[in-house]
Amino acid sequence: MPGDETFSVVVLREKLREQGLPTTGTKAELLARLYAHDPEGTWRFTTDAGEASNATAGATTTDEEGASRATTNDKDDAKNASMPTESEQILRRELELLRRERDLHERELQLIRLENERLRQTPEMHVSLRNKDVKYVAGLAKEFDGSRNSFWKWEQQIRY
């Protein structure tokens, strides 16, 4: 419609936001969305003094500039709303450090308990398995008497 070019993208987005409609797209898409929702165009006549001055000043900006400014402003508002204060950040860091310290102490305590349990065991449990295996095999094999023809038999008994 004639006269729609005087509205800036920012003002169009505000109008869409007021009516609960999506605010993304180019200026032409925003206008089409507003007219689809309100075919009579009554949204054009509900501007206050601040929006009217905004509309005339914003008429010279391009669609891309207005869109980028609007998305930047939206991002800044979202960042400011979700950013914790400095004292909250410090408290969160301290809490995280305390959690890590607690976990570290729990691991150290578990290692100390395992070491104490190992030290309480009797010395017989600490004998290496290799020594036991050698003694067991030696007990099963006959003693080598040193005769000429008996070495190969003794060797077969040991290996197999």
For residue 54, what are the contacts with CB-CB under 8 A and spacing of at least 6?
8, 10, 11
The Cα 75–Cα 69 span in angstroms is: 10
Higher pLDDT, 146 or 75: 146
**Nearest CA to 47 among 36, 60, 32, 34?**
34
Digit-coded pLDDT (tens) for 95-134:
999 999 999 999 999 999 999 988 887 666 555 666 666 6
Higher pLDDT, 135 or 12: 12
Q: Report yes or no on whether pTM surpasses 0.75.
A: no
Q: Encoding tokens for residue 80?
A: 């400011």
pLDDT at 59 over 50: no
